[in-house]
Structure 1
Amino acid sequence: MNNIIWMVFISVLLLAPAAGYAEHDSFGKMGVVPPKISQSAPDFLVRNLKGKMVKLSDFKGKVLLLNFWATWCGACREEMASMQNLHTSLQAEGVEVLAVSIDRWNEDRIQEYVKVNNYTFSVLLDQDQKVRKQYHVMGLPTSYLIDGEGKIRGYASGARAWDSPDSQDLFLSLKDDGSSNDLPVERFSMRVD
């Protein structure tokens, strides 16, 4: 009997840390790079397509996919449908999609593109590219995953299938675990000027 108790005890000790790394496993499956250190997402103020001024901090308490894109970017357009599916599937769970357009002079083109494709997630305008620079975006599409505490939890460069089961698991894990202290320290860190 004592052997069985010891086996159960050892199994629990060995498997408990694995549960904490489930999020990291989802990061790897999605090609999302976690930050080296816990960092708050820089706040910003931009206009949305309806003309309303919006701050990132307005979404505090929500898990965010902050995506930088442009109408002329083929890879950006490729992933937009999956962003809409993610938005539709998980908005009720507290997950929001914020698509920051860096198109400079094409607001009508952005409006038309969003309307034709029936996108209902928030589209924000960064025509002066201040937010792009603030987030050090070099290529498109670029996405940041931000938890409900406003901490950057991951970064992805290039198109992703944001509506995949792995992606949904990842966003739900960020919702369930607001702590960013358990992330492994490796690879990505946002420059602080």
Structure 2
Amino acid sequence: MKRLTLLLLALVFTTSLWADETEGDRTTKGQIAPDFEVTSLDGQVFKLSDLKGKVVLVNFFATWCGPCMQELPELEKQLWPRFKNANFKMISIGRQHTKAELNKFQSKKKFTFPIAADPQRHIYEKYAEKYIPRNYIIDKTGKIIFQAKGFSQKELDEMMEIIEKAIKE
């Protein structure tokens, strides 16, 4: 029985190593980003198609997601201060969270970047089927130039390089 359990665990692990890295995606790098409109917790209307000419970061998270809770403070500390005054916009969208839930979350966390609710996953489902956190960098023409799921410092460093380069172009 132990041997069978170990074999099954090994199979699951190795299968995940070979899993398609695009699993759960509904978008691809190079395509025009799906348009959406959302109002942030502080009342700002964020309509993606109105942001042509700016570099945009769209981040999807959930308050219960461990990697999201690692990523958001790093976005606050490293990315947001570096680009918030540049030709750049960012929105962090709480997947399947209500505005009330996010207001409670925000009162504890005190992030300074814009946060919005997507209680029915209408925005998220334009971009992905599953997995969070997710990040999408959209260039000045509205094309997705970077997309990723999960969180690592290496990915955050890569995102900051891509944003910096896209702002300069």
Q: TM-score band (shorter)?
A: 0.7 to 0.9
Q: What displacement does 1:99 show?
A: 0.5
1:83-122 alignment runs, 5 A limit:
83-85=75-77, 86-105=79-98, 107-122=99-114
Aligned amino acid, residue 104 of structure 2: E
Partner of 2:37: 45
Letter in 1 for 2:55: V
Q: Is the 8 A contact 2:37 2:48 kept in 1?
A: yes
Partner residue in 2 for 1:133: 125
SS at 2:111's partner residue?
Answer: coil
Name the CA distance, whole Å, in 2 between partners of 1:121 and 1:101. Answer: 13
Cα 1:41/1:166, change in 2 over 3 Å:
closer
Cα gap change, 1:130 to 1:164, in 2 (>3 Å): closer
Bigger Rg over Cα: 1
Partner SS state of residue 153, structure 2: coil
> Please, what TM-score do these two structures have when normalized by structure 1?
0.65
Which residues in structure 2 correspond to 1:50-69 (within 5 Å)?
Answer: 50-69=42-61
1:149 aligns with 2:156: no
Q: Provide closer, same or farther for how the CA distance between residues 127 and 165 of structure 1 changes in structure 2, counting only shifts above 3 A.
A: closer
After the TM superposition, which segments of 4 or more aligned residues of structure 1 sit over 6 Å from their partners? none
RMSD: 2.5
Q: What CA distance in whole angstroms lies between the structure 2 residues aligned with 1:128 and 1:162?
A: 31
CA positional deviation for 1:140: 0.6
- 1:60 and 1:137, CA in 2 relative to 1: closer, same or farther beyond 3 A? farther
8 Å Cα contact 2:65/2:132 also seen in 1: yes
1:140-192 deviations in Å (ceiling 9; x for gaps): 10111111111100111101338965443221111123xxxxxxxxxxxxxxx
Q: Number of matched residues?
A: 144
Aligned twin of 1:72: 64
Q: Is the contact between residue 79 and residue 162 of structure 1 (CA under 8 Å) also seen in structure 2?
A: no
Please list every run of 5 or more consecutive structure 2 residues that lacks an aligned counterpart in the other structure.
1-21
- Do the aligned partners of 1:162 and 1:168 also contact (CA within 8 Å) in 2? no
State the Cα distance separating 1:46 from its structure 2 match. Answer: 2.0
